């Protein structure tokens, strides 16, 4: 168990858990045969499912618990009274060094609260943020925060920019990702105090970040920057707005092809190309939001996803481990934190 990569799974989190979680782990295992899993949940439910997934059975260890975090549990309540839940035990496994990361499709607020309490935040980070990537005209971009922090100041946004930069380099493999601040216009004076303050600090150049400047809502899908930084209120609404529009388009397109006999025939011809498009915009392909800023890898899967989507969330956790995300972000933060601690005069930093 000590070799390779071990991921702790909250087997009881998600609308179709534990079946979806186990089938998802099986798919992830096909892609990452080196992975091992710790499955936290009800053994009576898990064992018969595992029996039908022999590959996963060989790569997994079940840690039994009867308790789980309910979908409507308040974060504070899940934190106080949920010490034996599958979610808590899976996070504990990371803190105790038994696993390299945790993936859960359960209650988002509870997962963030417990992960923050158990794993702690990294030095130099005040608040963790939720980050995810999604398709754009140019490829893929990362956006954060997606809802962990409803109100943010300039310092929070600068920290998000830094974490997003390391995340994009690690998961998207970019050497110098561009970072943009989501705003209502591109001019320096636009926006609220937090955005203007963060913009001025990032333009100041005291960070290793390749700062593009302010971007607007239409830049998200255009892929104008690799990393989109915003507060959790705006980010959550922007992300869900994208999801809603994508769903409406897919439905409308489907309805169009059912509209007439001619359209149905047209679909038969164009099917191959349309399936390629559908695969590219399939939200399951982008499932797996990372809790950035914690001293451990914690990935949140959509609660309503299926095995294919869950496998992608597991893949995010594995990629973060394989690519040394934790080491890179610790290095970056240590480097940044040296600046104010530096006894030399400020101007020497510009040399």
| Interface residue list for a copy of itself (CB under 8 A) | 136-137, 147, 150-151, 182-184, 191-192, 216-222, 230, 232-234, 236-249, 251-253, 256-257, 259-260, 262-263, 265-274, 276-277, 280-281
Nearer to a copy of itself, 215 or 317 (CB): 215
Rounded least distance, CB 315 to a copy of itself, Å: 24
CB of 79 to a copy of itself, least distance (A): 16
CB atoms within 10 A of CB 350: 7
> CB 194 → a copy of itself: shortest distance, Å?
10
CA distances from 132 to 235, 237, 243 (A): 10, 14, 13
Can you tell me the distance from the alpha carbon of 70 to that of 10, in angstroms, rounded to the nearest whole number? 12
DSSP 132-171: EEEE-SSSEEEEE-SSS-SS--HHHHHHHHHHHHHHHHHH
Q: Which residues pair with 7 in a beta bridge?
A: 37, 101
Q: How far is the CB of 340 from a copy of itself (least distance, A)?
A: 30
Nearer to a copy of itself, 41 or 309 (CB): 309
H-helix or E-strand spanning residue 44: helix 43-51
Q: Which is nearer to a copy of itself, 237 or 339 (CB)?
A: 237
Which residue do the tokens 């409406």 mark? 248
In the complex, the smallest distance separating the C-beta of residue 192 from a copy of itself, rounded to whole angstroms, is 5
Q: How far is CA 230 from CA 101, 144, 164, 236, 242, in A?
A: 25, 6, 11, 9, 15
Q: How far is the CB of 197 from a copy of itself (least distance, A)?
A: 14
- Looking at the Cβ atoms of 47 and 281, the one nearer to a copy of itself is 281
Nearer to a copy of itself, 51 or 262 (CB): 262
Nearest CA-CA partner of 168 in 219, 127, 210: 210
Beta carbons of 101 and 298 less than 8 angstroms apart: yes
**Main-chain dihedrals φ then ψ at residue 345, nearest 5 degrees:** -65, 150
Q: Which residue has the tokens 């949920």?
A: 82
Pick 234 or 312: Cβ nearer a copy of itself: 234
Least Å distance, CB 239 to a copy of itself, is: 7
Q: Residue 5 or residue 70: which is nearer to a copy of itself going by CB?
A: 70
Minimum CB–partner distance for residue 309 and a copy of itself (Å): 16
Q: Rounded distance, CA 39 to CA 31, Å?
A: 18
Nearer to a copy of itself by Cβ, of 53 and 246: the residue is 246
DSSP structural state of residue 29: H
For residues 229 and 202, what is the distance between their CA atoms, to the nearest angstrom?
11
């Amino acid at each position: 168990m000590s070799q390779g990569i071990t991921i702790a799974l909250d087997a009881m989190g998600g609308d179709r858990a534990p079946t979806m979680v186990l089938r998802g782990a099986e798919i992830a295992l096909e892609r990452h045969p080196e992975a091992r899993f710790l499955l936290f949940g009800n053994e009576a439910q898990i064992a018969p499912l595992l029996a039908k997934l022999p590959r996963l059975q060989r790569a997994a260890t079940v840690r039994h618990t009867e308790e789980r975090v309910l979908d409507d549990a308040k974060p504070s309540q899940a934190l106080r009274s949920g010490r034996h839940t599958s979610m808590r035990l899976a996070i504990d496994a990371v803190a105790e060094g038994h696993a390299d990361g945790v993936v859960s499709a359960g209650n988002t607020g509870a997962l963030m609260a417990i992960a923050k309490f158990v794993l702690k935040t990294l030095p130099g980070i005040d608040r963790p943020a939720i980050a995810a990537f999604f398709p754009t005209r140019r490829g893929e971009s990362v956006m954060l925060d997606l809802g962990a922090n409803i109100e943010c100041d300039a310092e929070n946004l600068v920290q998000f920019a830094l974490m997003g930069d390391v995340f994009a380099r690690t998961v998207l493999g970019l050497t110098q990702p561009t970072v943009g601040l989501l705003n209502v216009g591109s001019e320096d004076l636009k926006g609220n105090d937090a955005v203007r303050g963060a913009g001025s600090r990032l333009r100041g150049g005291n960070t290793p970040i390749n700062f593009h400047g302010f971007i607007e809502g239409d830049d998200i899908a255009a892929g104008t920057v690799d990393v989109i930084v915003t507060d959790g209120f705006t980010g959550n609404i922007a992300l869900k707005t994208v999801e809603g529009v994508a769903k409406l388009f897919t439905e409308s397109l489907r309805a169009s092809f059912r509209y007439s006999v001619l359209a149905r025939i047209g679909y038969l011809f164009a099917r191959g190309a349309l399936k390629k498009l559908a695969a590219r915009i399939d939200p399951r392909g982008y499932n797996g939001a990372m809790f950035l800023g914690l001293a451990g890898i914690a990935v949140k899967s959509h609660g309503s996803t299926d095995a294919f989507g869950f496998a992608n969330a597991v893949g995010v956790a594995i990629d973060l481990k394989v690519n040394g995300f934790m080491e890179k972000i610790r290095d970056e933060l240590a480097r940044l934190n040296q600046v104010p601690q530096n006894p030399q005069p400020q101007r020497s930093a510009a040399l």
